[in-house]
Amino acid sequence: MNEELLKIENLSTSFRISDEWYAAVDDLSLTVKKNEILAIVGESGSGKSALAFSIMGLHTRARMEGKIYYHGQNLAAMSPAELNRLRGNEVSMIFQDPLSALNPLMIIGEQIEEVLLLHESKPSSLTKKSRKHRREQAIELLHKVGIPRPEYTYGQYPHELSGGMRQRVVIAIAIANEPKLLIADEPTTALDVTIQLQILELIRRLKEDMDAGIILITHDLGVVAEMADRVAVMYAGQIVEIASIYALMTNAKHPYTRSLMSSIPTASDERTKLHVIHGVVPSLKLLPRQGCRFRSRIPWISESKHEADPQLHEVEPGHYVRCTCYKDFHFLDH
Ligand SMILES: Nc1ncnc2c1ncn2[C@@H]1O[C@H](COP(=O)(O)OP(=O)(O)OP(=O)(O)O)[C@@H](O)[C@H]1O
C-alpha cells in the first residue's frame, strides 16, 4: 500500500520582486504515497500555496527549479498540453476560495460536465447518449458530496449557493475523474464546524475508496490530528520538520512545530500554559537566507546552538528536523 505517488526533489519556486528573484519554496523535497494524507502546516506566508501551485503547474510568472515526479514522470518538464491532460484527471486540486474556482456564468451541472468531458477521449462523447450519461454522473457526484437536492443544484449558478454548498461543488469537480493525487488547499477555511467535518470525511473517503494520495494544506492542527498520516511543517519556504502524525503529536522537536502546537488551547487541561512565540513569517524579500530561518523568533537561544547551514536530521526513522537548535530549545515563560 505504500507505493510512492509523488516525489518532489529539491524544488525551488521563486518570484521576481523589483528585479530580484526570491524563493518562496526553497530546495524542498518530499514524497506522497498512495492511500496517504500528507498534511502541510505552517503560518500564512510559509510557502504552502506556492508549493501546491508548483505541483499543479499553475504558476505563470514563477521560476521553478527541481523535479516533481508523478508516477515517475517529471511534471516540471511536461508541456502545457500534457499537464492539462493530467490536471483535473489524475491530479486535481481543491482551491481555498470556492467562488474564484467556479465560473459565475455557468450553471453547476455544466461545470461538472465540462470536467467529465475533458477525460472522455472519443468524439462519440458528443452524442446525446453520452450527454445524458454525463448529466447522470454530475448529479451522482453532487449527491456524493452531500448536496441535498442534486437535480435542483445542477441547474443553479454559483452565487445562488451558500459557501458550504459551493465548497462541496468544488470538491465534486475535483473528484469527478477520481484523481490519484488530490491537493486540498485549506478546503474547510470559512466553513462552519459541521460542514467542515462532512467535507473532511469526504476527503478521507477519497483516500480510502480510491486509494488516492492527498496533500492537505491547513493551518488547523485539529484538522491535522484528525486527518493526517504524516505531517510536513513549513517555515519560510522550507520544511523544518516532517514525521508521522503520531511522532509529531507525541515527540515534536523543532521550536516552530512546538510553538505551533503549544499555542492551541486544549479543553482537557485548562492549566496548560500557552507558549506563544511572537512575530510572523518575514516577507519574501526579507527572509533570512543564511543560517536558521527561525532564529530571529527565538532570540533567547544562543547563536552557537544553530547550524550555519541547517540540514534535516533524522531523529528517528522517518522523522526529520531541521537545524540543531531543537536540542537546546526551551520556551521562555513570561
Ligand atoms: N505571485 C507572487 N509574487 C510574489 N510573491 C508571492 C507570489 N505568490 C506568493 N508570494 C509570496 O510567497 C510567500 C509564500 O506565499 P504562500 O501564498 O505560498 O504562503 P502560504 O503559506 O500558502 O500562506 P496562506 O496560508 O496565507 O495561503 C509569501 O511571502 C507571499 O507573499
- We report the CATH number of the domain holding residue 66 as 3.40.50.300
Q: Considering the domain boundaries, does residue 292 fall inside one? A: yes
CB burial of 202-231 (b: ≥16 within 10 Å; e: otherwise) equals bbeebbeebebbbbbbbbbbebbeebbbbb
pLDDT per residue over 17-52, tens digit each? 989 999 999 999 999 999 999 999 998 899 999 999
Q: Considering the domain boundaries, does residue 333 fall inside one? A: no
pLDDT at 182: 95
User: 60-64, 145-149, 253-257, 279-283: lowest mean pLDDT where?
Assistant: 279-283
Q: How many domains does the chain have?
A: 2
DSSP per-residue string spanning 33-64 = ETTEEEEEE--TTSSHHHHHHHHHT--SS-EE
Q: Which atom of ligand 1 is nearest to the CA of 59?
A: 1
121 lines ligand 1 (CB under 6 A): no
Q: Which residue has the cell 520556551?
A: 331
Dig out the grid coordinates for 152 from the structure.
435542483
pLDDT per residue over 284-319, tens digit each? 988 888 999 999 999 999 999 999 999 999 999 999
Q: Which atom of ligand 1 is nearest to the CA of 45?
A: 19
Indicate whether 216 and 264 sit together in one domain: no
Indicate whether 154 and 16 sit together in one domain: yes
Q: Considering the domain boundaries, does residue 334 fall inside one? A: no
Nearest residue by C-alpha to atom 9 in ligand 1: 50
Distance of CA 268 to the CA centre of its chain: 29
Cα 293 to Cα 241: distance, rounded to the nearest angstrom: 13
Indicate whether 135 and 68 sit together in one domain: yes
189: containing domain: 4-228
Name the residue among 97, 74, 72, 75 with its Cα closest to residue 84: 75
49 lines ligand 1 (CB under 6 A): yes
Indicate whether 40 and 184 sit together in one domain: yes
Q: Considering the domain boundaries, does residue 233 fall inside one? A: no
Indicate whether 224 and 287 sit together in one domain: no
Indicate whether 42 and 98 sit together in one domain: yes
Residue among 46, 54, 93 whose CB has most ligand 1 atoms within 8 A, to mutate: 46
Q: Considering the domain boundaries, does residue 99 fall inside one? A: yes
**Amino acid identity, position 232:** A
Stated pTM of the model: 0.91
Asked if residue 143 lies in contact with residue 135, where contact means CB atoms within 8 angstroms, the answer is: no
Cα 218 to Cα 189: distance, rounded to the nearest angstrom: 8
Q: Considering the domain boundaries, does residue 321 fall inside one? A: yes
Separation of CA 3 and ligand 1 centre (Å): 31
The residue ranges of DSSP E strands in 163-248, in sequence order, are: 181-185, 213-217, 230-235, 238-244
Indicate whether 192 and 288 sit together in one domain: no
Q: Considering the domain boundaries, does residue 273 fall inside one? A: yes
- pLDDT band at residue 243 using 50, 70 and 90 as cut-offs: very high
Indicate whether 265 and 221 sit together in one domain: no
Structure letter (DSSP) for residue 159? G
pLDDT at 99 over 90: no
Indicate whether 257 and 217 sit together in one domain: no
Q: Considering the domain boundaries, does residue 272 fall inside one? A: yes
Domain end among 172, 193, 228? 228
Indicate whether 94 and 15 sit together in one domain: yes
Residue among 26, 48, 186 whose CB has most ligand 1 atoms within 8 A, to mutate: 48
Indicate whether 85 and 156 sit together in one domain: yes
Separation of CA 315 and ligand 1 centre (Å): 30
46 lines ligand 1 (CB under 6 A): yes
